[in-house]
Amino acid sequence: MDSFLQGLAMVFNVQTMLVIVAAAVFGLFVGAIPGLTATMAVALLVPITFYMDATPAIAAIVATSAMAIFAGDIPGTYLNIPGTPASAAYVGESYRLAQKGRARETLGTNLVCSVIGGLFGTLVLVFVSPSLAEMALNFSSFEYFWLALLGLSSSIFIAIGSRVKAFLSLTVGLLLSTVGLDMMSGAPRFTFGVPDLMAGINFIPVMIGMFALNEIMMFYGSRAEARSVPVMAKDSVFAGAPKHVKTYWRNVLRGSSLGTLIGALPGAGADIAAWIAYALGKSRSKEKEKYGTGHIEGIVDASSANNSGISGAWVPALVFGIPGDTITAIVIGVLYMKGMNPGPTIFMNGGGQVYALFTVFFVANLIMLPIGYLAIRASKVFILTPRKLLMPVILSFCIVGAFAINNSITDIWIMLIIGMVAFVLARNDFPMAPAILGLVLGGTLENSFMSSMLKSNGDLLAFFERPISAALGALVILIWLLPSLIRLVRRLRSSPPSSHKPRSS
């Protein structure tokens, strides 16, 4: 009890609370700029945390990452350009809702779902972290292979429009993921002698090219000032959120639990959690046909999942010192620096510090409500600013954002080329989401496949020998066969048996 009170005192003091507010505002700013990610926001914070005590330092990181993930929804809703990769899964739904004059309602629902997801992930972090981390630790390359294939398969089946085009879009993303040095042999692939390509293609410039540059090119190609988001007087931030959360409470719960679970898997972060939650939400929805037209249900699942994924990623980081995502990879370094060595002993020796950490999560997620509310109110600037002034500014941010990843001009070239390819593909109704997912998961797919083949001496049956691997494999095959099975069942149902047909005279 003393440790608990000590932990509360570490958080509820003027210094830590001010740090949380300032970090949330910083996260809001970084997250709302396309190309700047939550990881980048946290990385930029690290030098500042050198001068802080352990609790405010961790509080700053938690508040920044949570707020940045939510803030990514703001440009996504108003401009169809996701601020962070975690918002890319449902950017189409948000933007179409905004076009119907429901931007604030959408962002309000996003905010409430993000807070619920974040709090859910925190509860899991507090109560079930040891057992969940143990399960994630049992995952080997065989399970990761199936998990990656599951995500890629989902991207084709959730895509709107032609599945052939979705598949071709996926191959573009997968091809980009093969650029760089091969993990097993060290042979350079598709690098064309450019040293900057040896480490592979970073997906931030690709994302900026596909979503932002493509959108800018569309705007200049269309000649019209149209496609702006209308402002409705009755559009309120929180008016619709309680109703949506009540209607789709199952989605919130499912998205939050899925996000926490995926976040806890090393290597899979908030962005993958959002994609899979969106796909699962669509497959389980009673109104599948509304997806892609601006349907709030599509947002509820994924926006709960990406914020719960942030908390979930802390589970293996704290319990085993294994980062759940890129943010926790940075966090582990900060924890060591502050003398909080991550691992099972942190719960024994941490004392009030561990309780302070848990409290920080609750406070950082709850503080998102007032700050997020003010941000949504202020985000009207995206509507009021004419696009002829806004689009050139976004282009400048795109150039600087792409450059900022590695301080390399090559990343600007990558953004440019990908943007042009995406422009051609998008004009011909190719979905962009599978390409992004292909790039994100391509490396995991190939590396886990190669590692598994080395372990099993080339025996493909090894992918079905472990129970979790076999179950995931069966699920992937089921997803592939599902459309054909549904078609077959429909055909059987629609054609009545010939023996029952009345004879016409």
Partner 1 sequence: MRDFLLGLAFVIGGGVVIAVAQTYPTMPTLQFGPSLFPSLIGGGMVIGGLVLALTRVGQLRIAFAGPRAQTPRYDYRGLLISLLPCALIVFYILASEWLGAPLCMAVSMLILMLLRGARPWLSLIVSLVVATAIYLLFSRYLLIPLPEGTLLSQILP
Residues that bind partner 1 (CB under 8 A): 44, 162, 164-165, 167-168, 171, 174-175, 178, 182, 184-185, 187, 189-190, 213, 216-218, 220-223, 225, 386-389, 391-393, 395-397, 399-400, 403-404, 407, 409, 412-413, 415-416, 419-420, 423-425, 428, 442, 445-446, 449, 453-454, 458
- The CA distance from 257 to 275, in Å, is 14
Q: What is the DSSP string of 275-325?
A: HHHHHHHHHH-S-GGGTTS--HHHHHHHHHHHHHHHHHTHHHHHHHS--SS
Tell me the HSE value of 449 on the side-chain side, using a 13 A CA sphere: 12
Query: Minimum CB separation from partner 1 for residue 59, in Å?
Result: 21
* Comparison of 223 and 501: residue with beta carbon closer to partner 1: 223
* Comparison of 170 and 265: residue with beta carbon closer to partner 1: 170
Q: Which of 255, 204, 171, 224 has the alpha carbon at shortest distance from 435? A: 171
Return the bridge partners of 181, or none: 188
Residues 304 and 120 sit within 8 Å (Cβ to Cβ) = yes
Query: Minimum CB separation from partner 1 for residue 44, in Å?
Result: 6
Residues 270 and 310 sit within 8 Å (Cβ to Cβ) = yes
Q: Which of 90, 2, 71, 62 has the alpha carbon at shortest distance from 30? A: 71
The structure tokens 């190719």 sit at 430
* Comparison of 223 and 246: residue with beta carbon closer to partner 1: 223
Query: Minimum CB separation from partner 1 for residue 404, in Å?
Result: 5
* Comparison of 70 and 430: residue with beta carbon closer to partner 1: 430
* Comparison of 217 and 317: residue with beta carbon closer to partner 1: 217
* Identity at 28, one-letter amino acid code: L
* Comparison of 221 and 467: residue with beta carbon closer to partner 1: 221
Query: Minimum CB separation from partner 1 for residue 303, in Å?
Result: 27
* Comparison of 355 and 397: residue with beta carbon closer to partner 1: 397
Residues 241 and 102 sit within 8 Å (Cβ to Cβ) = no
Distance spanning both ends of the chain, measured CA to CA? 88
* Comparison of 287 and 429: residue with beta carbon closer to partner 1: 429
The structure tokens 């350079």 sit at 188
Q: Which of 100, 66, 501, 70 has the alpha carbon at shortest distance from 290? A: 100
Largest CA distance in the chain: 94
Query: Minimum CB separation from partner 1 for residue 450, in Å?
Result: 8
Query: Minimum CB separation from partner 1 for residue 415, in Å?
Result: 8
* Comparison of 239 and 409: residue with beta carbon closer to partner 1: 409
**Angle, alpha carbons 283-446-191 (nearest 5°):** 120
Query: Minimum CB separation from partner 1 for residue 55, in Å?
Result: 25
- The CA distance from 426 to 284, in Å, is 27
Query: Minimum CB separation from partner 1 for residue 21, in Å?
Result: 19
3-state percent helix, strand, coil for the chain, nearest multiple of 5: 75, 0, 25
Output the CA–CA distances (angstroms, integers) from residue 149 to 83, 292, 436, 472, in the order listed.
26, 23, 14, 9
Query: Minimum CB separation from partner 1 for residue 394, in Å?
Result: 10
* Comparison of 144 and 397: residue with beta carbon closer to partner 1: 397
Query: Minimum CB separation from partner 1 for residue 388, in Å?
Result: 4
The structure tokens 């990610």 sit at 37
